[in-house]
Chains A and B, each alone.
Chain A
Amino acid sequence: MAYVEMLRARRVLVWFAGVLAVLVVLVVLSATQAHHRAMIDHTTILLSAILGGAAMGPLLVAGFLANGLNAEHATTAILWTRPLARPAIAWRYVAVDLAALVVAYVLTIVAALICMAAFGVLPWLQADAHSVVTVPLALACPAMLYGWIQLIAARLPGRAGAVAGGMWFAMLVLTPLLIAPFPPLLHDLIAGLDYLNPLIWLGNHGSSEDGPMLIPFSTGWRAVGAGLIALVALVASIQLWSTREA
């Protein structure tokens, strides 16, 4: 059944690549304006910043990919009458989707590099100590978002799109709220929720500008942590999905 999800993921990636292509064209056209180029000072651009920022691509795609398994409630008559155990079917879907997240990540990096080349800043790109470990983190965070959507929507057939929308809203709202001057109890509640926020794991925002990081781990350990959360969410979601009644 990975075949169906491969077709679905391909469709999502084609759309995503199309949107990226349009954005790249707009950026390249913009770069041809001389005054824009002049505004950019010579500086160093850390590769880890590009690799981390490129996680936004698979983060966006994760919401669409998570629809796949969830949408199968309408095709149970085909899906659940294959000679495969339901968890095996679900894991195949997840494997395809995670592979698609990697493709989305690569596409985003390529798009970023093209944009940088258009502005003539590509030579300023410099590898740094965090570059290598940023890659697994940038993949683990979208996987974490994907896992959350799967988990929340596992018993809500056909609602993964709405769950994805809600997740994005929550992630975007919870991230700035972390540094807002709320009373301690409310702040702790927001911080607690932010431990589950993929954007926090990716960006590691602190509780204040100079204060301690919410997740006081190195980039590598954050990648491991986000990956483990994604794994736990996926295991739980597949358990729920496989045992639901059609």
Chain B
Amino acid sequence: MIAVRGLTKRYGGVLAADDVTLEVAAGSVCGLLGRNGAGKTTTFRCLLGFTQPDSGEVRFDGEPLAPRTFERLGYVPERPGLYGWLTVAQHLEIVRRTQPRYDAAFATELVATFRLDPRKKARRLSKGQQAALALIVALSPRPAILILDEPASGLDPVMQRVVLDLLIDAATSGAAILLSSHQIGQIDRAADQIAIMRDGRIVVAGGLDDLREASRIVEATFEGTVPALTGLPEMKIELAGTSVRAHANGRADVVAARFGALGATSVRVLDRSLEDLFLDAVDDGGDR
């Protein structure tokens, strides 16, 4: 389990991470979303001890970060920090020599899956292959905790699917996974919970299904004029002519029934995509 509480990191006058609190349980994939500069990478760097937070607490399976944490923690950086002059096989040798839980058979399987030549030097690999090698380095010890910063960037769509399947398999096996990606489709496919960051803060967090349920919109059309909308729970309502859009805050069924009772000629409950949720959360009112 990954537990972050009140994590704050300031660079000069910039609050890169502001009171970040999140929890990723074993067997869960948490998608961390946010625009560039939202604080995702800073959060990761604080989690991994690459930089010291100004305040806050990070725990892995209840313990603070220590060298031995990395026996069960795998990390895939945004840019694969590989040894360009070493071969794929030599990268695996590094992992074999340093990770007690290194699974050689699994590593070989991953090398074959990503179609990497073990004799090829990292600098001779394509961008996607380098990303794949970084993934293999992180995944081959079968870590119980995975932190991935844009792990599938540079991979072709087929390989992206393979990566997501690997992550889902790992979570099914009990791994706690924190995954950042700009490709919302990837998060939508792999994650069961999300956290959306904006200006260093987590502005939306929760189970993906719960958030979707909470964000459903009820759209109703009335004949003539819209009647007085009484008996509705408190929520945001948009009026446009004879149509009403209600942000139902998780009570779509109640709202739809009430619109029906008020004489609506048509009532539709609209599911919202993760992309809609994301855009709502990061909307600063000026960019779109």
A residues contacting B by CB (< 8 A) are: 1, 3-4, 7, 11, 74-78, 80-86, 88, 245-246
Contacts and interface: CB of A to CB of B under 8 A. Distances in A.
Contact of A76 (B50, B69, B100): B50
A78 B70 CA distance: 11
A80 B94 CA distance: 13
B71 interface: yes
B86 A245 contact: no
A83 B81 contact: no
Contacts of B138: 81
Given A75-B81, A77-B134, A81-B75, A246 B94 contact: no
B94 A77 contact: no
B98 interface: yes
A84 B98 CA distance: 8
A84 B68 CA distance: 7
A7 to B, nearest CB: 7
A81 B51 contact: no
A246 B86 contact: no
Given A4-B94, A77-B80, 5 more contacts: A7-B90, A77-B77, A77-B134, A83-B98, A245-B50
Contacts, number: 62
Contacts of A7: 86, 90
A77 B137 CA distance: 10
Contacts of B100: 83
A33 to B, nearest CB: 41
B97 interface: yes
B92 to A, nearest CB: 11
Interface string B88-120: 001101100111100000000000000000000
A81 B95 CA distance: 10
Interface string B130-145: 0000100110000000
